[in-house]
Structure 1
Amino acid sequence: MVPVGTASGTRKLRVLALHGYLQNAEVFRSRTGALRKALKKHCDLVFLDAPHEIKVDLQGNEIKSCGGKEGEDQSYYGWWIASEGGPPRESKSAEGWERSLGLLEEALERDGPFDGVLGFSMGAAASALLCAAIESKKVQNHEQFKFAILFGGFVPRDPVLADSLLSVKLGLPSLHYSGQNDQLVVEQRSRELLQSFGEEESTFVLHPQGHCIPSLREVREKVKEFVAAQQSICTTSNKS
């Protein structure tokens, strides 16, 4: 897809959007409606389903995890699975990231190039892991993203995933959000992600809500300002 130009001569950016655990691409698209509206002149978000299906009961409790997408009732996915049970964000032994990385690499080749990446919760962790894989040349068919926007992100507990993330230094500009009332991914865990991003290139912002992409005007305006700045940089770079 060719980016659409704007009247000012800039081009719209393309941003890969990765959903959180027990979500899917359509749910994430719906929950970012206000943000997408704020960013519509600056970028297009491209949403992608994770490959691991998570079975849930009528109360929303996880009852089975598997690696496929068989059946017609799939709705909930994850970027990896906790091998010993429990929430994947706390698991010290995760399974399935390599499969997810392969799917993401295929998406980059098929739908890219992408200028930036945006993720929520497990999707924010997956976004950072993808940036690290590109930086370490494990993924070679896509240049490093020009920026990252991460909501409620964290460094995985799994030591292999954590090392693959923390062993590289990412110089791309990044915007990190953490909720003051987030009981699932506390502020300290989101701050740990900053270790992989340069201090001068990173911005960390606390918002007053919980584990979500906050529905606050000041958040939308901050993200819009950040993306508009990246759009200007990308346009200038393309002209030089």
Structure 2
Amino acid sequence: MADLRVLCLHGQQASAEILEWQLGPLASKFEHHLGMTFHQVDGLIEADPDPCFEGIFEPPFFDWVQWRSPDDSRVNSTSSDASLATVRAAFELLDHVVEEQGPFDGILGFSQGASVACAYLAHLDRRDGSCSPFRFAIFFSSGGLSADHLLLLHRLSGMTDKEQQKTPALEGLLSMPALHVHGNADKLKDDALAMVRLWQPGSAVVASHQGGHVIPRDVASIGRIVSAAKLMMQSVVS
């Protein structure tokens, strides 16, 4: 089976090393059944570790962006210039990685990395139209894209306030085959499901597991996710 190269974006307060561990047995099944190989990259913003990783993995740890909600005291409002700068820097990093380390067939993200990967695809769609460097996407436990995130994408594209008002919502914007995986016990489950609406009907495959905000490692969940990935890959153009 042909080697399908997948660019991987880790979650918040984590690292490429951590995502490689999180993918663990699932990655080996994807490689065996679908010919996928996974290529990790770190975000740009150094961060404190997620408490569940502290003492287990060595620093540094990273975030991709700072676009948390305005009531999060750690960062500014998602519509702030500071937030916009972090999104722009993340997209520029991904542009560079694609140019220097590509080509890639797919993009994968977990948690914040999934939201950033989705936002990047929407950004590329607006910037480049149908000329995306990716043929498919895989998302685990996405935090979704809010109205504030949409505002950032509008601002990043240089739209005026008047132009933003005339621009349709992102719903149904994306058409590339995508797999969306969420945990039924994840408190962000609704956000992950809401992100599916950014895809045109029939373009997204949804899979679930019984865990929380994690990439599952149990045999039953891995089997269901691999089956869903095979279904998604049937729509990928060679």
Q: Work out whether the TM-score is over 0.5.
A: yes
- Number of equivalences: 213
User: Offset of 1:194 from its aligned partner?
Assistant: 1.5
Give deviations 1:151-193, integer Å, cap 9, x for gaps.
Answer: 111114444236588277111111111212112x2x2211221
Picking from 31, 41, 58, the partner of 1:40 is 31
Gaps of 5+ in 1: 1-9, 62-72
Report what 2:176 is aligned to: 172
* Contact 1:180/1:207 (8 A) holds in 2: yes
Question: Is residue 2:64 matched to residue 1:79?
Answer: yes
Question: Is residue 2:151 matched to residue 1:160?
Answer: yes
Q: Distance in 1 between matches of 2:74 and 2:197?
A: 21
Picking from 11, 15, 18, the partner of 2:6 is 15
Question: Is residue 2:180 matched to residue 1:189?
Answer: no
Question: Is residue 2:135 matched to residue 1:146?
Answer: yes
Picking from 199, 202, 222, the partner of 1:200 is 202
Picking from 103, 116, 124, the partner of 1:134 is 124
* Contact 1:133/1:139 (8 A) holds in 2: no
Q: Distance in 1 between matches of 2:19 and 2:52?
A: 20
Q: Distance in 1 between matches of 2:121 and 2:190?
A: 21
| CA spacing shift, 1:176–1:119, aligned 2, 3 Å | same
| CA spacing shift, 1:87–1:193, aligned 2, 3 Å | farther
User: Offset of 1:49 from its aligned partner?
Assistant: 0.1
Q: Distance in 2 between matches of 1:179 and 1:144?
A: 29
User: Offset of 1:60 from its aligned partner?
Assistant: 7.6
Question: Is residue 2:104 matched to residue 1:100?
Answer: no
Aligned residue identity for 1:44 = T
| CA spacing shift, 1:128–1:87, aligned 2, 3 Å | farther
Q: SS at 1:193's partner residue?
A: helix
User: What TM-score do you get using the length of structure 1 for normalisation?
Assistant: 0.75
Q: SS at 1:166's partner residue?
A: coil
C-alpha root-mean-square deviation of aligned residues, in Å?
3.3
Q: Which has the higher helix share?
A: 2
User: What TM-score do you get using the length of structure 2 for normalisation?
Assistant: 0.76
Q: Distance in 1 between matches of 2:50 and 2:140?
A: 27
Picking from 195, 209, 212, the partner of 1:210 is 212
* Contact 2:31/2:37 (8 A) holds in 1: yes
| CA spacing shift, 1:197–1:87, aligned 2, 3 Å | farther
